Chain A
Amino acid sequence: MEVAAGGGCGTGPPLLLSDSEQQCYSELFARCAGAASGGPGPGPPEGTRVAPGTATAAAGPVADLFRASQLPPETLHQITELCGAKRVGYFGPTQFYVALKLIAAAQSGLPVRTESIKCELPLPRFGMSKSDGEIRFGNPAELHGKKVQIPYLPTEKNSHKRMDDEDKQESQSPTMSPLASPPSSPPHYQRVSLSHGYSKLRSSTEQMHPAPYETRQPIGQPEGSSSEGPGAKPLRRQASLIRSFSVERELQDNNSNYPDEPWRITEEQREYYVNQFRSLQPDPSSFISGSVAKNFFTKSKLSIPELSYIWELSDADCDGALTLPEFCAAFHLIVARKNGYPLPEGLPPTLQPEYLQAAFPKSKWECAIFDSYSESMPANQQPCDLNRMEKTSAKDMADFPVPTQDVTTGDDKQALKSTVNEPLPKDVAEDTATSKDCYSLKARPRSRSYSSTSIEETMKRGEDPPTPPPRPQKTHSRASSLDLNKVFQPSVPAANSGLLHAPPALPPRPCPTQSEPVSEADLHPQLNRAPSQAAESSPAKKDAIHAQPPSKPIRRKFRSENQTTENQEPAAAVGGAASAAMVKPHPTVQKQSSKQKKAIQTAIRKNKEANAVLARLNSELQQQLKEVHQERIALENQLEQLRPVTVL
């Protein structure tokens, strides 16, 4: 039909499309057309409603698709011209198919000529981040267009949305709807690009090895995602997708012992889960109680025994509460189940809490970017790193870095509140730039790459204004801050932890930059130590002490002159060290260093304030001690007076 149409239009040489090509192309065209006409609407369900013979495919999705083919822009221009779209002004079916054929030719190395399309060519490959992964996905049987049973968050999100509407649980829907927007843009974009890859997958299954789970997601997206897909967002997402895809590649290489791809949580899913976690429990390092979780998961409309089983799988420590990794695992299992995956017998290795905690710091960072309140997301990351490094009790770590991170993420939060969307494109672009650098290292793929600049971003933005601590109980009482000091430093090698936390901005930042030249797995702790050491031990330790009760909230308004002057000194020192520590002064990183200086200064100020508070407490206690002494003396005198009487 399309071939005939092509012949009928007579825009170019008659297209000879094989069956698989026809199928693929028509799918792609439908997607583009559906995406165009359906606007930022749901995926294939709506897409398929649009007849494949739709006249035009909009330029947007087509352009995305072409970019996904990873051909150089000049080639794409050539192709566009050749296929006749420019001539006719739109991408009709003929033009589209010709273009696809030309893309295939170009990817095969043939010159972009109309003659090329006469040959037998492999299907065009649209290798965007996830689409390649998709191509590598080795279960074509499972993937079946709309029937793709992929646990993906848009599906889950939508199912939740529907549930919300049906149940009229307004408490849930506001949670869901804002969250719909960030993941929705990836769905839109991914749907376009990845569905193409998927189509190719269906038609040709060679060179495919089991793909990362992530690749399945996009396929699932078309199922029910309501993607707004503004133009800017797909581009941004493209960057993040590239990043995530590279990460996925690395992860695959590194974690080849995790064959259970469907159980791998992608970053976007992770973000989503973390957002949901936050909606239930503002403190990401704390638990969701059983009843809260029960209510939440019950909304997923799974049967109670299934939910019970999922709980059993995910609550690894059987404490009746879900920590963030446990919650993510549970959520993931629910999403999987809703998409038709049978529940596993045991918790897959990629869903286990240690793995999740260690492997997904990045998603938490991204959440900081996306969320209006980015709490101690990185706190989990720090504990992850620490856990890995030292295997100390997780709780100590979690408790402790939390206040530290409060500084940074609290700042992040406030900064973000004002401009949620604006920094995002910049951030992601920067993230992409620096994170791509990090991909050269295969060490600790996820934490490294994730922590690369998104951390930097959040850190630098996070450090300016400390928000009212999301966890006041950790920091607002002096005693607790004291205890934390005592607990933390002795319990953990001061060098590591103290230095780790001391200059909150330092450790992550130098990490990626220094890690670039040095590709080692455990560079992270070393780097942390290195810049910290460079930053002088004394201010570092001082900062460590001060960093602990960081979110003495907004006392930074209190600036004593002492503090400012003192701040300038250590800040300058630390800032100098920080900039010195940065081996490669990327322009973005330089910007960050200055911002980090400010952040460090703020942190130092706050720490000074905390110090002042503690000093006051000390003096008060001394006073009390004196009084008690006096009373004691008085009593002893009385005793003396009475004794001679009795003795006689």
Chain B
Amino acid sequence: MVHTSLDVVDEKISAMGKALVDQRELYLGLLYPTEDYKVYGYVTNSKVKFVMVVDSSNTALRDNEIRSMFRKLHNSYTDVMCNPFYNPGDRIQSRAFENMVTSMMIQVC
């Protein structure tokens, strides 16, 4: 399912035409509402894609919240990137990053 959503992301990216480096553009919105879950997409300037899968039963999540979550995610990701010991493509093992993600998830739930 994540892969299909990635395909959707690619579709949307290519649909953007000239890449506008705008924060709004980065947020792709609700990608693909299915029965069980919703998938949200977010692309960074460096074309790194964040995909967020949310359980559909959680109706409290609003668009703004998703946006803010992605923003936080992006910030944490850049912090991780700053680490010269981090090889892009590796699994992120940063504790701060994980803490942030966990706190976000807990907050939502």
Contact = CB atoms under 8 A, between A and B. Distances in A.
B17 interface: no
Contacts of A304: 85
A291 B84 contact: yes
A315 B82 CA distance: 9
Interface centre among A290, A294, A308, A315 (most CB of B within 10 A): A308
A312 B95 contact: yes
Contacts of A305: 85, 93
Given A305-B93, A308-B94, A312-B96, A320 B85 contact: no
Contacts of B93: 305, 308-309
A311 interface: yes
A318 B82 contact: yes
A315 B83 contact: yes
Interface in A248-298: 289-291, 293-294, 297-298
A290 B84 contact: yes
A312 B83 contact: yes
A307 interface: yes
Contacts of B94: 308-309, 312
A304 B80 CA distance: 14
A294 B82 CA distance: 11
A422 interface: no
Interface of A is mostly: helix
Contacts of A318: 78-79, 82
A307 B82 contact: no
Contacts, number: 42
Nearest to B80: A312
Interface string B77-109: 011111111100000011110000000000000
Contacts of B81: 320
A294 B84 contact: yes
A319 B78 CA distance: 9
A331 B7 CA distance: 44
Nearest to A315: B82
A319 B82 contact: yes
Contacts of A308: 83, 85-86, 93-94
A25 to B, nearest CB: 47
A116 to B, nearest CB: 58
Interface string A319-359: 11000000000000000000000000100000000000000
A351 to B, nearest CB: 16
Nearest to B78: A318
Interface in A440-479: none
Interface string B49-85: 0000000000000000000000000000011111111
A348 B43 CA distance: 35
A297 B85 CA distance: 10
Contacts of B78: 318
A74 to B, nearest CB: 58
B81 to A, nearest CB: 8
A290 B88 CA distance: 14
Nearest to B97: A312
B82 A293 contact: no
A69 B79 CA distance: 51
B97 to A, nearest CB: 9
Nearest to B92: A308
Interface centre among A289, A298, A320, A345 (most CB of B within 10 A): A320
Contact of A320 (B84, B95, B96): B84
A309 B95 contact: yes
Nearest to A307: B85
B90 to A, nearest CB: 9
A318 B74 CA distance: 13
Contacts of A309: 93-95
Q: Which 9 A-B pairs have the closest CB atoms?
A: A290-B84, A294-B84, A320-B82, A308-B85, A318-B79, A311-B83, A307-B85, A318-B82, A308-B83
Given A305-B93, A308-B94, A309-B95, 8 more contacts: A291-B84, A294-B84, A304-B85, A307-B85, A309-B94, A315-B82, A319-B82, A345-B95
Interface of A: 289-291, 293-294, 297-298, 304-305, 307-309, 311-312, 315, 318-320, 345
19 contacts: A290-B83, A291-B84, A293-B84, A294-B85, A298-B85, A307-B85, A308-B83, A308-B93, A309-B93, A309-B95, A312-B79, A312-B80, A312-B83, A315-B82, A319-B82, A320-B81, A320-B82, A320-B83, A320-B84
